[in-house]
């Protein structure tokens, strides 16, 4: 197996165009991104990918541009890339193995990719994968971390095998509290902790939690976890372990950097339904489900629109799995709101398309806003719920149109 390095990224990057040459820097600046975020942003192509917005080389972190969200399903070659460790193996699928063990597994067992495909029922789920830090770069005040804009998110058809079926083969014990996962990526320094995450046992055996080997009808791209990754619909992508190689059934909570202090939020600050009780403390708790959110995709900040002609405001909405109840649109900076038309549902974990048309009758600036509400009863916030790690930014988006 080879390893993806910074040199590989640079040598195989196509174009390497500064965002200034595409006009995107102006768009991002108007969106309020800090200068450091703008300085780090390049539009580049990884092998097998169309141009993405580079946030870091080592490890490779690339977000999807707005053009990737023209449809409810995000194309594989435009899907965002997120890794925590910089040494990412090029995996030979014939040699790859997935082991399942742990003190809460009665019968340790190992599977090949061929066995996953042939020995278990194949299932598919359409689900949003979103980095917990999506929109971190929009935080005010500024916070540290990868300075994501709005593109560290995507929606795909994931095919694989239910995790609970694999755990059943390993004899999951009733005293299992958590199930832990390790991937193939490795740190550059021995002092850097390996990326290992866990799920509460109840979430691990949920029928929608799968080990996926296909994405949108094709083998997983290398950058998105080939040959197999964990898919945890409704929960933040930190749990979606890529290149998963080891699963441990545990009778006690997992400890380690990537569980605590990483990916923690103040306790009781967000309207979360799913709890990861075994990992909670008196003051904070793990990131779990995705908050209700939306993205305007049909118009961009600063776009010029002729007076007296219809303008279609459309986009995508999603949440942690209850489904989208409605999307409201304002064309007067939030003074009044109207319901948008919802598109066909592909399932409760999927993006949901929406659209709203209006005709501006006067020249000048129009502030267009969108806010989604979930079936569970949550609505996007109008102001940021600040936290030091920049997680869960679901502020209703604002786009300034210039009516001419």
**Can you list the domains of the chain with their CATH numbers?**
2-85 (no CATH), 90-129+153-286 (3.90.420.10), 293-403 (2.60.40.650)
DSSP character for 291?
A: P
Residue 80 phi, psi dihedral angles, 5° rounding: -65, 160
- Looking at residue 14, what is its pLDDT? 33
* pLDDT of the residue at 57: 87
- 367's enclosing H/E stretch is strand 364-374
The gap from C-alpha 76 to its chain's centroid, in whole angstroms, comes to 14
H/E run at residue 167: helix 163-169
Q: What is the pLDDT of residues 131-153, one digit of tens each?
A: 999 999 999 999 999 999 999 99
* Positions in the chain short of pLDDT 50: 1, 4-32, 35-36, 39
Q: CB neighbours of 189 closer than 8 A, spacing ≥ 6? A: none
Question: What pLDDT is recorded for position 41?
Answer: 60
Q: Which pLDDT tens digit goes with each residue over 209-227?
A: 999 999 999 999 999 999 9
pLDDT tens digits for range 354-392: 999 999 999 999 999 999 999 999 999 999 999 999 999
- 95 three-class SS: coil
Among residues 272, 238, 234, 236, the alpha carbon closest in space to that of 348 is found at: 234
């Amino acid at each position: 197996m080879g390893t993806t390095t910074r040199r590989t990224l640079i040598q195989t990057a196509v174009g390497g165009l500064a965002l200034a040459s595409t006009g995107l820097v102006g768009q991002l600046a108007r969106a309020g991104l800090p200068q450091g975020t703008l300085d780090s942003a390049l539009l580049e192509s990884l092998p097998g990918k169309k141009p993405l917005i580079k946030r870091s080389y080592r490890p490779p972190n690339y977000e999807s541009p707005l053009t990737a969200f023209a449809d409810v399903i995000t194309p594989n070659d435009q899907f965002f890339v997120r890794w925590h460790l910089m040494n990412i193996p090029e995996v030979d699928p014939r040699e790859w193995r997935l082991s399942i063990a742990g003190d809460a597994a009665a019968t340790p067992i190992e599977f090949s990719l061929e066995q996953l495909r042939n020995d278990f029922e194949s299932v598919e789920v359409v689900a949003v994968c979103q980095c917990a830090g999506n929109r971190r770069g929009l935080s005010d005040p500024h916070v540290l971390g990868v300075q994501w804009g709005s593109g560290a998110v995507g929606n795909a058809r994931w095919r694989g095998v239910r995790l609970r079926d694999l755990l059943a083969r390993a004899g999951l014990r009733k005293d299992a509290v958590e199930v832990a996962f390790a991937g193939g990526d490795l740190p550059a320094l021995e002092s850097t902790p390996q990326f290992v995450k866990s799920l509460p046992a109840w979430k691990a055996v949920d029928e929608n939690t799968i080990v996926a080997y296909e994405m949108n009808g094709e083998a997983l791209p290398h950058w998105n976890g080939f040959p197999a990754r964990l898919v945890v619909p409704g929960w933040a992508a930190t749990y979606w372990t890529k290149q998963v190689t080891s699963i441990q059934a545990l009778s006690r909570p997992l400890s380690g950097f990537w569980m605590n202090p990483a990916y923690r939020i103040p306790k009781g600050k967000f309207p979360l339904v799913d709890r990861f009780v075994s990992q909670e403390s008196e003051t904070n708790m793990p990131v779990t489900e995705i908050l209700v959110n939306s993205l305007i995709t049909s118009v961009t900040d600063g776009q010029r629109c002729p007076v007296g002609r219809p303008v279609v405001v459309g986009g995508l909405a999603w949440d942690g799995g209850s489904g989208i109840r409605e999307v409201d649109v304002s064309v007067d900076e939030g003074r009044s709101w109207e319901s948008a038309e919802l598109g066909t549902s592909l399932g409760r974990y999927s993006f949901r398309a929406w659209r709203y048309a209006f005709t501006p009758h006067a020249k000048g600036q129009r502030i267009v806003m969108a806010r989604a509400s979930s079936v569970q009863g949550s609505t996007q916030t109008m102001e940021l719920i600040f936290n030091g790690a920049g997680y869960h930014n679901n502020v209703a988006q604002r786009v300034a149109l210039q009516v001419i």
